[in-house]
Amino acid sequence: MSEVSVPNDVTLMEKVVNLSKRRGFVFPSAEIYGGFRSTYDYGPIGVQLLRNVKDAWWRSMVQMRDDVVGLDAAILSPPAIWEASGHLKNFTDPLVDCRQCRERYREDQLEDPTTCPGCGGKGTFTEARNFNLMFKTHAGPVESDAAVAYLRPETAQGMFVNFSNVLQASRKKPPFGIAQIGKSFRNEITPGNFVFRTREFEQMELEFFVPPEEAQQWYEYWCRTRYQWYVDLGIPESKLRMRPHDPDELSHYSSGTSDVEFLFPWGWGELEGVANRGDYDLTQHATHSGERLDYFDQATNTRYVPHVIEPAAGATRTMMAFLLAAYDEEEVRGETRTVLRLHPRLAPYKVAVLPLSKKDDLMPMAREVLALLQPHVMCDFDETQAIGRRYRRQDELGTPFCVTIDFDSLTDQSVTVRERDTMDQVRVPVADLVAHLLPRLA
């Protein structure tokens, strides 16, 4: 546990944003041109962390199950999909403008809908207008109505329109699911809070198709399972909660939704929604496409439209929650040590290989140790600066283990293994190194 308490929440946010830039997790996009509002690039460390979040999701949702298969559907999509899904009509946010300061707000996010939070103006808002959040573009060289295409605002529809293809190809039967990870785009009115709400982001979604009478039981199962996923990957339960939606909050397709929420520095915010979508999507697409989207159960000789339970998470937003939850500071010998206590499965680098000195004698052995570890886990190699500073850098990256090669290593064929959280050091023969580290990284 920390000896110094975690900084207050506003400071925590600033510290995590600064660390992200300094260490290469997340950069503001197009920075050399002054940035591009609320878009971000994932740097050398961030790309690993984000990939590990997605891999952890895929592992638990696809690899470890025999009732879920994967999909990677197109981002560009024809209006017909969004007409059928209801997004063209319903995927809107209520937008208001302040006549006094000209700022724009989402009406449903205003604490007091009669007062402008920017200039304090009373009754200065315009009537709310419904603003569609989908990005519209044109496919091909002609900008005609016939060429209109949309960037998907959710990955989910890819699973519904491929329902029959997947059913036939995979030979699954309900209850079974289709999982997808990929980019989605929403023209958010008020993006912000770092990567919490951006216009381009990544989602991790499962559409789980079930016999109608089993829908409630699977809804409850997925609420429990998804909450536990965050706990297992190290988010303390004091910062997690499950919040059922009020009836007036429900999306146009949902008959029941619960959000997994994280305690962000500004308060509770959604990480993932688990929704009971009923037969809405398959019925809509069947009606609009004229294709039959149902399941014939040979055992009972009946045909039915499966109901859908959808756990829908944000990969980029979840990555941010893991960063915030992992950030810690503690006092070590009169200095503040910053450490990301990330779960080993999420840590960008699992091991850092550090030759004690840059002197020639140590380098060949250090390179051999690196080559020994690289086939198993993602490693960093750092030969610059004093060893203490290199340990601090790895602490800030969340690297669970540092392996140091010193001058004794040349004679005893052993290395020092330093553990991130306790800073304990043990001497391990190189021949035992892989066997020593791998179980501790699982």
Residues making contact with ligand GAP (CB under 6 A):
154, 156, 186, 188, 197-198, 201, 203, 205, 270-273, 310, 312-314, 316-317
Are residues 95 and 128 in contact, defined by beta-carbon separation less than 8 angstroms? yes
CA angle centred on 370, ends 369 and 375, rounded to 5°: 110
Name the helix (H) or strand (E) containing 390.
Answer: helix 387-397
User: Which of 125, 209 has the CB closer to ligand GAP?
Assistant: 209
Cα–Cα separations (whole angstroms), residue 166 to 158, 312, 349: 11, 19, 36
Cβ-based nearer residue to ligand GAP, 319 or 379: 319
Measured between alpha carbons, how far is residue 357 from residues 184, 350, 371, 406 in Å? 46, 22, 19, 7
Tell me the C-alpha distance between 82 and 153, whole Å: 10
Residue closer to ligand GAP (CB basis): 35 or 192: 192
- Extract long-range pairs of 168-174: CB within 8 Å, 24+ residues apart: 170/69, 172/67, 172/69, 173/295, 173/297, 174/209, 174/210, 174/211, 174/295, 174/306
Cβ–Cβ < 8 Å for 123, 113: no
| DSSP 3-state of 254 | coil
Shortest Å distance, C-beta 130 to ligand GAP: 17
- In DSSP notation, 23-47 reads HTSEEETTGGGT--TT-EEE-HHHH
Q: Measured from the CB of residue 132, what is the shortest distance to ligand GAP in angstroms?
A: 14
Distance of closest approach, residue 275 Cβ to ligand GAP, in angstroms: 7
Q: Which is nearer to ligand GAP, 135 or 381 (CB)?
A: 135
SS (H, E, C) 281-295: HHHHHHHHHCCCCCE
Q: Which residue has the tokens 């994967």?
A: 70
**At closest approach, how far in Å is the CB of 199 from ligand GAP?**
7
Measured from the CB atom, the residue of 253 and 295 that comes closer to ligand GAP is 253
What is the dihedral sign for C-alpha 260, 67, 303, 86?
Answer: positive
- Choose among 125, 122, 132, 123: nearest CA to 107: 125
Q: Could you tell me the CA-to-CA distances from 122 to 129, 156, 324 in Å, in that order? A: 19, 41, 36
CB of 320 vs ligand GAP, minimal distance in Å: 9
Pick between residue 179 and residue 312 the one whose CB is nearest to ligand GAP.
312
Closest CB to ligand GAP belongs to which residue?
314
Neighbour-count burial for 250-275, b at 16+ CB within 10 Å, e otherwise:
eeebbbbbbbbbbbbbeeebbbbbbb
- Shortest distance, CB of residue 63 to ligand GAP, whole angstroms? 22
Q: Which is nearer to ligand GAP, 274 or 342 (CB)?
A: 274
Q: How far is the CB of 327 from ligand GAP (least distance, A)?
A: 20
243 versus 367: smaller Cβ distance to ligand GAP: 243
Nearest-approach distance from CB 353 to ligand GAP, in angstroms? 35
The pair phi, psi for residue 155, each rounded to 5°, is -80, -15
Closer CB to ligand GAP, residue 273 or residue 398? 273
Q: Which is nearer to ligand GAP, 5 or 109 (CB)?
A: 109
Residue 288: phi and psi, rounded to 5, are -75, -30
Q: Choose between 256 and 355: whose C-beta lies nearer to ligand GAP.
A: 256
Kindly state the smallest distance separating residue 182's Cβ from ligand GAP, in Å. 11
- For residue 276, the minimal CB distance to ligand GAP (Å) is 12
Q: How near is the Cβ of 359 to ligand GAP at its closest, in Å?
A: 48
Kindly tell me the burial class for residue 181, based on how many C-beta atoms sit within 10 Å of its own C-beta (0-12, 13-18, 19 or more).
buried
Residue 386 C-beta-side C-alpha neighbours within 13 Å:
3
